[in-house]
Amino acid sequence: MTATPAGTPLLEIEGLRVHFPIRRGWLGARGVIRAVDGVSLTMTRGETLGLVGESGCGKSTLGNAVLRIVEPTGGEIRLEGVDLARLDREALRAARRRVQMVFQDPFASLDPRMRVGDSIGEPLLVHGLAQGDALRERVADLLVRVGLAATHADRYPHEFSGGQRQRLVIARALALSPALVVCDEPVSALDVSVRGQILNLLLTLQRELGTTFLFISHDLSVVRHVSDRIAVMYLGRIVELAKRDALFDAPRHPYTQALISAIPLPDPRAQRARRRMVLTGEIPSPANPPSGCAFHTRCPFAVERCRREAPVLTPRGSGALVACHLAE
């Protein structure tokens, strides 16, 4: 796979659907969970795209589909112009090298019986890209890149703190110089005090190595810290996608407005003066999503049309994409 020049799309997702089959009710009627239900988005090389939304809206499923950890039900995922669904096993193996994943739990991501240097170097060894002194040098390099020391290579995972372990996981993800790193809640399991350090590390890596990140989190303030653009998901669909500052300064979709108004402000006076938009009702089941706009059961602005007609994600000025009839 050849590298594409800067500015061209690195990842193009079109009409992606991931439906999980389920049995429902005592008759065992068949149904599906529409975890991802028609997502299209494009990522450019070197950007960080934040993906937010409440628990169960399909963020991880979307990230997993990009890595083909789950099989898409429909749609296309093109990485550097190549449709991942059409690749044979050998080509997929090569393409997988281009995409790496960082999960929430650094404890589960590292083999406790392996020296961390061996863990970090393993992908290079497996793909036959380095061995011996060259491998040791590359591992030392990676350790320093993520803010650790070359001498740490000989230690075991239990000798590191949670934050340091996530640094090790990031080092291993970077070993193959991937084009895209999917980070799924990378700081959610960490102490609040070290979250900022890991987020700053990702920013540094983006700047120094040009790494492209798909950054998944349910926490908008975390996503705000690292993202160039932010996509907001609700029940398997993107409802708004905008540049970071535009999204926070002037959110267009009622769901985005509700999420942002739920973030506590540091200044208590500003907090009291602010008009909060409180979401009522539970998130509907993705096995049985509401008709029309899936958000209409919780939207304070819903009108009759919202029940009948699903809004399409459409450009609404200043580069923002919004799926809401009211944004017209």
Give the residues lining the site for ligand ATP (CB under 6 A): 20, 33, 35, 53, 55-61, 218, 286
Of 226, 311, 320, 321, the residue at the interface with ligand SF4 (CB under 6 A) is 311
- Residue 211 touching Mg ion (CB under 5 A): no
74-79, strands of its sheet edge to edge: 29-44, 9-24, 74-79, 82-83
Q: Which CB atom, from 75 or from 311, has the smaller least distance to ligand SF4?
A: 311
Instruction: Give the H or E element holding residue 190.
Output: none
Here's the x/- map for ligand SF4, 81-120, by CB under 6 A: it reads as ----------------------------------------
| Cα 14 to Cα 62, 74, 80, 97, distances in angstroms | 12, 9, 14, 22
β 212-216/82-83 pair status: unpaired
Q: Which CB atom, from 69 or from 265, has the smaller least distance to Mg ion?
A: 69
| Cα 261 to Cα 9, 204, 254, distances in angstroms | 32, 29, 10
Looking at this protein, which amino acid is placed at residue 74?
G
Here's the x/- map for ligand SF4, 256-295, by CB under 6 A: it reads as -------------------------------------x-x
| Cα 65 to Cα 31, 75, 217, 268, 271, distances in angstroms | 20, 11, 16, 42, 39
Q: Which CB atom, from 182 or from 322, has the smaller least distance to Mg ion?
A: 182
CB of 316 to ligand SF4, least distance (A): 12
- Cβ count near 32 (within 10 Å): 17
- Residue 45 touching ligand SF4 (CB under 6 A): no
CB of 56 to Mg ion, least distance (A): 8
103: three-class secondary structure by DSSP = coil
Of 63, 236, 254, 289, the residue at the interface with ligand SF4 (CB under 6 A) is 254
Burial of 96 (0-12, 13-18, 19+ CB in 10 A): middle
Q: Give the span between the Cα atoms of 225 and 147, in whole angstroms.
A: 19
Q: Which residue is nearest to Mg ion (CB)?
A: 60
CB of 303 to ligand SF4, least distance (A): 6
- Least Cα distance to 164 among 111, 116, 114, 227 occurs for 116
β 48-52/212-216 pair status: parallel
Of the ranges 53-61, 118-126, 141-149, 297-305, which one interacts with ligand SF4 (CB under 6 A)?
Answer: 297-305
The residues in 47-66 that bind Mg ion, with binding defined as CB under 5 A, are: 60
| Cα 225 to Cα 85, 188, 192, 252, 264, distances in angstroms | 33, 14, 14, 20, 15
With CB under 5 to 8 Å by kind, the binding choice for 55 among ligand SF4, ligand ATP, Mg ion, none is ligand ATP
- Least Cα distance to 4 among 30, 35, 39, 43 occurs for 43
- Residue 302 touching ligand SF4 (CB under 6 A): yes
With CB under 5 to 8 Å by kind, the binding choice for 20 among Mg ion, ligand ATP, ligand SF4, none is ligand ATP
- Residue 172 touching ligand SF4 (CB under 6 A): no
CB of 57 to Mg ion, least distance (A): 9
Chain contacts with ligand SF4 (rule: CB under 6 A): 253-254, 293, 295-296, 299, 301-302, 306, 311, 324-326
